[in-house]
């Protein structure tokens, strides 16, 4: 049975992991007969957003690992606890946390950097030639992790696609139900809620991505 790591970035679309995307990832992995282990960096969030009003909660701070534990029902590990030989691949759901906590793309765009503990975690899979799936906005990290020309998609947002290309990636437009596969680099991406209008649309692309990651792990 394959075992896949799932990297979370908090809990909640505006300041952490997109919860629908995270749960659909876990569901798709289970339906496909794979095991999973959730991980998150033990770092502070960029900020906390009130998901009812959409406003930043001034003076409030939360920890990414502690918040991500909500989605994982407490069954989660810090990224520093990774034992790479135990895993066949990695999937990274989106949500603004991927662009605020895992990296700082939301703030600096094409000048972004990946948080050190996150970079080390993902790079272990890249260096080990293990497949990685990037969902929603998470693909903006691809050019920082792979050699120039790595292929990926965030859907069809021209500004984000331009930033992806400026960083050295090769962006490919895709519809909500599509996946983009870079066979050479063993990576897969799908737009999910970058384009999805409902949970069913998001599920289609995420399920395809999970199945492809598992097939690349063969």
Could you list the active site residues?
Answer: 136
Provide the total of helices (H) and of strands (E) in the chain, helices listed first. Answer: 8, 9
Q: Are 11 and 68 in contact (CB under 8 A)?
A: yes
The DSSP string of 150-205 is -EE---S-HHHHHHHHHTT-EE----TT--EEETTTTEEEE-GGGT-SSHHHHHHH
Q: Phi and psi (nearest 5°) for 12? A: 130, 135
3-class SS at 211? helix
Q: Are strands 187-190 and 170-171 parallel, antiparallel or unpaired?
A: unpaired
């Amino acid at each position: 049975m394959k075992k896949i790591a799932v990297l979370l970035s908090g809990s909640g679309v505006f300041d952490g992991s997109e919860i629908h995307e995270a749960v659909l990832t876990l569901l798709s992995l289970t339906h496909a007969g794979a095991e999973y282990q959730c991980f998150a960096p033990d770092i502070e969030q960029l900020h906390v957003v009130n998901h009812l009003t959409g406003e930043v909660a001034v003076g409030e701070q939360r920890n990414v690992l502690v918040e991500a534990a909500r989605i994982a029902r407490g069954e989660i590990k810090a990224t520093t606890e990774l034992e790479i030989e135990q895993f066949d691949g990695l999937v990274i759901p989106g949500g603004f946390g991927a662009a605020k906590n895992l990296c700082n793309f939301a703030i600096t765009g094409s000048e972004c950097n990946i948080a050190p503990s996150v970079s080390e975690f993902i790079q272990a899979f890249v260096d080990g030639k293990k497949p990685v799936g990037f969902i929603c906005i998470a693909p903006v990290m691809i050019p920082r992790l792979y050699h120039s020309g790595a292929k990926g998609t965030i859907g069809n947002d021209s500004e984000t696609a331009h930033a992806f290309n400026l960083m050295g990636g090769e962006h490919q437009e895709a519809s909500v139900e599509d996946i983009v596969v870079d066979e050479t680099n063993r990576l897969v991406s799908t737009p999910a809620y970058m384009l999805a209008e409902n949970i069913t649309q998001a599920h289609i692309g995420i399920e395809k991505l999970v199945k492809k990651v598992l097939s690349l792990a063969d």
